[in-house]
Structure 1
Amino acid sequence: MATDYLAEPADLAAWLPVGEDDPKLLAALKAASRRFRGAVRHPVTFTAGDVVTLDGTGQESVLLPAAPVTAVASLLLDGEALTEGVDFTWSADGFLRRTSRCWPDRLRCIEVSYSHGWDPVPEDIQEVVVDQARAMFRVQPGVQTIQAGGESITYGAQAAVGVTAQWSAAVERYQLNRGDRA
């Protein structure tokens, strides 16, 4: 699977009258994948050796910006290496917890090298991305009504930008950093 896509082009092509290498199909799949990644606020696909710098919180735990976490290769606090199991522990949900004290309350003091994401992408994510890409493929921007003979199709504004309940449920299930929304 190409890393730009959260679903296989062949899975989308099965629903459309074009081949899996059709440029419009690929553009719709890429756009739907980007939209999903933006909504959940992380890359979704497996990423090894990602390095991030975090702010200390003055609390026992800090949250990594992507999940699921599959490994923490290294953690530096103010340039000093900490030892997993002795100085800190981590969870698949992305929490880094100090074992005997709190993280300092300082900006950019924690550097973490870690791996995260799914391989393969969960099927429910693939399904909603294909569904969204199908809608994007079929909607003609700027067109509200198409009429041929006695048949008429009208698209509302939500047809171009809307999402299904299934999409919303998948975003809610995989979304990170929910607490910063008002």
Structure 2
Amino acid sequence: MAGPDPYLADPADLATFLGLAVDDVRMLAALRAATRRFRGAVRHPVSLVTGETVYLDGTGREQLQLPAAPLVQLHSVHVDGAELVGVRAKRRAGVLLHPSGCWPAWSEVAVVYDHGHDPVPEEVAEAVIDQARAIYRLDPAIQQITTGTESVSFAATAAVGITSQWQAAVEAYQLNRGDDA
């Protein structure tokens, strides 16, 4: 299985914004942290993953939600070890439709598939870069600095805050939002 890229945005773009070398260790750590945060918020890798095998439980329903989307290619589906042919898919939503009705309840469904985006959507990359810039610029350990008669305080929430751009990107790419996903 080929896993997702380590970053959801190009390190060179972030380096340009911050005026740093593209291999700056602290900058790359901030980009990695922003990427992990975005992936956690949407509950899937977003970038392309090939040949992943997932094991799901049959639902007794017509639809079976995959843990990541969009579905790029469906390689195989096995129900309790037997290959199932004729499976249809709602590719964008990452949903499989059983060819003859419902996925058997209490069955193991093994799915091998490719999923994600290549390239990563621009609005995701921009939101991740924006978050990485904030992470890079903040030192959450420092809440107040006093020099002589001047004092500067940093809000603790600034280290974990989100922008409307971030929220919109998360809402657009989030999966598994509840029982009616």
Secondary structure (helix, strand or coil) at the match of 2:73 reads strand
Aligned residue in 2 for 1:100: 100
Aligned residue in 1 for 2:28: 26
Aligned residue in 1 for 2:109: 110
Further displaced range: 21-30 or 75-84 = 75-84
Aligned residue in 2 for 1:144: 143
Q: Any residues of structure 2 matched to 1:155-166 within 5 Å, and which?
A: 155-166=154-165
TM-score normalised by the chain length of structure 1: 0.90
Aligned residue in 2 for 1:3: 5
Secondary structure (helix, strand or coil) at the match of 1:36 reads helix
Letter in 1 for 2:161: G
Identity of aligned residues (%): 53
How far is the alpha carbon of 1:145 from its aligned partner?
3.1
Aligned residue in 1 for 2:72: 70
Deviations 1:87-138 (A, max 9, x none): x21111111111222111115x110000100110000000000000000000
Counterpart of 2:40 (choices 38, 41, 47) is 38
Aligned residue in 1 for 2:85: 83
1:4–1:55 distance in 2 versus 1, CA, 3 Å: same
Distance 1:163 1:150 in 2: 32
8 Å contact kept, 2:74–2:112: yes
Letter in 2 for 1:138: R
Distance 2:41 2:152 in 1: 29
Secondary structure (helix, strand or coil) at the match of 1:131 reads helix
How far is the alpha carbon of 1:153 from its aligned partner?
4.5
**Count of equivalent residues:** 176
8 Å contact kept, 2:74–2:113: yes
Letter in 1 for 2:99: T
TM-score normalised by the chain length of structure 2: 0.90
Secondary structure (helix, strand or coil) at the match of 2:18 reads coil
Aligned residue in 2 for 1:48: 50
Secondary structure (helix, strand or coil) at the match of 2:6 reads coil
Gaps of 5+ in 1: none
Gaps of 5+ in 2: none
Secondary structure (helix, strand or coil) at the match of 1:73 reads strand
